[in-house]
Chains A and B, each alone.
Chain A
Amino acid sequence: MASGYPLPQQKSKLLLHKGWGSEVTSPSFHVYRSEIILMINKLKNQRLTLGLILRLLLGLAVVIYLGWRIYQTAFGEGTYGPDTWMRFLITGLVIGGMYALIAIGYTLVYGILFMINFAHGEVMMLGTFAGYFVLEAFAAIPAPTVANPDLNFLNAQPVIALVLTFLVGAGFSALMGYMLEKIAYRPLRGAPRLIPLISAIGASIFLQNAAQLLFGPQRRQYLNPDFLWRGTGWMILVGGKEVMLTYTGVFSFVLSILLMIGLFIMVKKTKLGKSMRAVAENKQAAALMGIDVDSVISKTFIISGILAGAAGVMWGLHNGLFNHFVGFLPGIKAFTAAVLGGIGNIPGAMMGGMLLGLLESIGPALLGIDFQLKDVIAFTILILVLIFRPSGLLGEALSEEKV
């Protein structure tokens, strides 16, 4: 625990001689054995400190509370029918997909630079704005036909228009991510870790206010093409009642899944992905192997910008209203998602995003609390995860240096 770490190497050596004798049968067994020894050591040295007791008590209290509330909702007066739960599920998955996309950006950057890219939410916000302007421009271009003289380009060629919107939104966010890294983070490479974080906070404030001053503080409405209009969708029957599966929701969800698969393939299969993983593992060694670390970092920011920009356009298409604050909460929540899944871990970020979206939409109903408090749920989850499992759900145990 916090007080009194023993010196691990020395102790384990000591036990090695005492307990298991000195003959080593096979290397794999050797590794395995030393791990066991470390574990035993850890248990032995686990002192019952105040912090530990408090954590246990807190954990117990949380479990009891959750159990009680869930029991109440499930077996108490059934206020919500299955259709409502379905609705929550759909909302959660759609929002979760966007969270996951943004969370991947955090995780990629954190995995490589060990810094929280605080301005990542703002990068997403800029993507939302870029997409909005592209859609407005397409709507202003006339493309009249004989049947419909008022037709504009947005509705005449909706697929091309949407593809271009996503390209511009993601591209602009990528450009912003690249510039951000170049201006605000690159000069601080190698500084103490607090310094880039402050710089990131500054960049976040700057971008948010720049957007406000440029485009005004009022809320704007996204202009979807007609076939993807908000509030339209398929009706599905759940428990005898109709639940709407909105087109925008399905579109966003599918697109985010596709982007995640694409990213996963990129990281696992391509040369850039390989060099990214190498840089995340060890910058110096990667540089010695001939990898241009700076360019890999730049590309990482570009990739996370692309994902954030796509998420921003989706956010606009799905939710409609937005202003310059649109990136703040999703940014923080996506960071929560990244931590939830284990920061630095890409599948973790995806899973964390989905999970957080679901918890946020289902949680208030499940716990029987006010929907105003859904942000509290996200932050409480963050705190609980960090208290009980700082490495996240999928993350490997980070070494002391990283946590």
Chain B
Amino acid sequence: MKTSLTKGLRSGIVFGIVFIFLMLIGFINVGADMVGDISSASAASGAGGRLPVGDLLIVIAVFGVFCGIAARSKSEEVQWWSALLGGLTAGITAGLLMGVAIWLVGSLSLDGVDFRTYLPSLNPASIQYLTFYSYPQSAGLTYLMYMAIFSVAGAALAWLLSFRDWLAKSWNSCKTGLGGWFEKKDVSRIFSNQWLMIVVFLAAGILLYFLPLAWGSYWNYIMGTVAIYILLGLGLNIIVGYSGQLVLGYVAFFATGAYTFALLTAPTPHGIEMNLWLAVGLSILVSTLTGLLLGLPILNLRGDYLAIVTLGFGEIVRILIRSDLLTSLTNGPKGVTSVGQPNLFGSPFSDVNFMHLLMLLVLIGLFIAKRLKDSNTGRAWIAIREDQTVAQATGINTFKHKILALLLGAAFAGLAGALFASRNQFTGPEDFTLMVSVNVLCIVIVGGMGSLPGVVLGAFVLKGIPELLREMADYRLLVFGALLVVMMIVRPEGLWPARRVRFKRSHADPDRQDAVEVEV
């Protein structure tokens, strides 16, 4: 009983503080707003243009349920009353914290204190909403009551689930069932049927062809961003995921590609207006050369040192681009406008055409990355990633392979940069901050290091979903940062981890089957 009490107390304090923090940054209001959007049946706002109070109550209730679930003690043998007591403790603790905070804020606000000088999110309108348009004391009591009730409910739920072990069991059976299904030979035979796969690929291709036509330009814009980030992720995946070199200045190559393309095709600073496809090739080349320039002196560094050096390099490139020193070359902080756009039989590319181009390039990039991974070079990279000294001892020229990885990664970034500049028709130094590098790195890590589907998934999760959640635009980076930490703790191998390839002896050599069996 004591453990469940302390557990409840701790959970209550954590949830109370988190709620107050979310309240202070205005997230609770946004959350209630989103609940309102989802349950739009009650969207007709209450009397006198007031926001519906019910949405806020739903948010508090959800919070309470999670608070109760978190209060569940890990040990298996818990009496039901002990679990409920833990939930009640958690709810009352969190509710007290929240209620006192609301009461303080509400009554101070009624006394005419303006919080906005220090806490801009806490404007009078949102405070009124948070106090349910009533007295602060009663609002505080409401919070306490709600938290207590729903925390107990959450604790009961958690207890029931843990008691029955139903969720865990069903999840396990699901997992084994699915795994068994995938391992069935029939299925693998279907997948190894070439004709069927051709049909599947054709169908996917047709779908991919028609999707941009159906989406409209807004979705094309978002998906275009995702595609560019997939290309970037593929490139960085070669450097970080395959060869294990932590590069934090990847944006430098992206910027070089974008600027090379922009300066070669835009009319304003230099007026070269080169053929676009040639310009794309040149921007890839220049990015690769930048990679060579950076890589040759520093690639014998390892780990964190390499990360910081490349981070510095990325910042140097950005600062140089916007400095007065290079203004005559790069147009300085103003950026380069009216970057060249590709033509299709004389008419300029529409967004649909561009999306098709991006899709095609992503597919080619995926193909190249896949082939690279399975090649001799790819295996050398993975060996270097796992243990450089051992790789060296087995005769791998580590320096050559590491520089090759960096060059290929830089080439991908150069291509992505050219596409980025061409699509936006603009490129400026502020497009190439450290956050781009961090974003791409997170795509690789969150997706799963060295995993190609992981890169695609990561790009969709990290670039696609935030673009869609426009209401949460201000909170995007906050959630992103928290997500990274949680992800590293809960699932460090990524959403879609790379499979470890085990090389078996060929089945064509039946005499050696015993070797495999001994190993297994």
**A interface list, Cβ under 8 A from B:** 1-5, 49-51, 54-55, 58, 110, 114-116, 133, 136, 183-184, 187-188, 191-199, 201-210, 213-216, 332, 335-336, 339, 369-370, 372-373, 375-376, 378-380, 382-383, 386-387, 390, 400, 403
User: From residue B251, how far is it (CB to closest CB) to chain A in Å?
Assistant: 14
Assess the A188–B488 pair: CB atoms within 8 A.
Answer: yes
Distance between B292 CB and nearest chain A CB, rounded to angstroms: 10
A197 touches B307 (CB 8 A): yes
Query: A3-B399, A5-B389, A203-B481 are contacts. A213–B303 as well, Cβ < 8 Å?
Result: no
A199-B485 contact, Cβ under 8 Å, with A383-B313, A386-B301: yes
Checking A49, A115, A205, A383 against B480 with a beta-carbon cut-off of 8 angstroms, the contacting residue is A205
Q: Which residues of B contact A215 (CB under 8 A)?
A: 118-120
Give the contacting residue for A205; candidates B300, B311, B474, B484; CB below 8 A. Answer: B484
CB 8 Å contact bits of B406-440 with A (1 = contact, 0 = none): 00000000000000000000000000000000100
Taking beta carbons and an 8 Å cutoff, which residues of B are in contact with A?
Answer: 21, 24-27, 118-121, 240, 246, 296-305, 307-309, 311-313, 315-316, 319-320, 323-325, 389, 392-393, 397-400, 438, 441-442, 445, 449, 474-475, 477-478, 480-485, 487-489, 492
User: Does the CB pair A51–B477 fall under 8 Å?
Assistant: no
Contact A195 B492, beta carbon cutoff 8 Å:
yes
* Alpha-carbon distance A124/B484, docked complex (angstroms): 21
Measured CA separation A370–B392 after assembly (Å): 44
Given A5-B389, A332-B311, A335-B308, the answer on whether A195 and B488 have CB atoms closer than 8 Å is yes
Inter-chain contacts of A197 with B (CB < 8 A): 246, 304, 307
Contact of B319 (CB < 8 Å), options: A201, A372, A386: A372
Contact A55 B297 (CB under 8 A): yes
Question: Could you jot down 26 A-B contacts, CB within 8 Å?
Answer: A3-B397, A3-B400, A51-B299, A54-B297, A114-B304, A116-B307, A116-B308, A188-B492, A191-B492, A192-B492, A194-B246, A198-B441, A201-B438, A202-B483, A202-B484, A206-B482, A209-B475, A209-B477, A214-B119, A214-B121, A216-B119, A380-B312, A383-B298, A383-B313, A386-B298, A390-B301
Central interface residue in B308, B475, B487, by most chain A CB within 10 Å? B308
Write out the residue numbers on chain A whose beta carbons fall within 8 Å of the beta carbon of B303: 193, 403
Question: CB distance A202 to B309 under 8 Å?
Answer: no
Contacts of A372 in B (CB 8 A): 319, 323-325
Given contacts A202-B442, A203-B481, 13 further A-B contacts (CB under 8 A): A1-B399, A3-B399, A116-B304, A133-B118, A194-B246, A199-B488, A202-B488, A205-B478, A209-B481, A213-B25, A370-B325, A373-B325, A376-B316
In the complex, the answer to whether B118 meets A380 with C-beta atoms within 8 Å is no
Given contacts A195-B488, A205-B438, whether A370 and B323 have CB atoms under 8 Å apart is yes
Question: When the two chains form their complex, are residues B297 and A387 in contact, meaning their CB atoms are under 8 A apart?
Answer: yes
Report Cα–Cα, A197/B303, bound state, in Å.
10
Residues of B within 8 A of A187 (CB): 489
- Bound-state CA distance A191–B316 (Å) is 31
Query: Could you say which residues of chain A place their CB within 8 Å of the CB of B441?
Result: 198, 201
From known contacts A213-B474, A215-B120, infer whether A51 and B325 are also in contact, taking CB-CB under 8 Å: no
Complex contacts, A114 vs chain B, CB 8 Å: 304
Q: Are B312 and A198 in contact (CB under 8 A)?
A: no
Nearest first, the 6 A-B pairs at minimum CB distance are A202-B484, A206-B481, A205-B481, A379-B312, A213-B25, A2-B399
B74 → A minimal CB distance (Å) = 15
* CB–CB A213/B26 < 8 A: yes
Docked Cα-Cα span, A5 to B387, in Å, equals: 14
Q: Could you say which residues of chain B place their CB within 8 Å of the CB of A196?
A: 488
Asked whether A375 lies within 8 Å of B445 as measured between CB atoms, the reply is: no
Which chain A residues border B298 with CB–CB below 8 Å?
383, 386-387
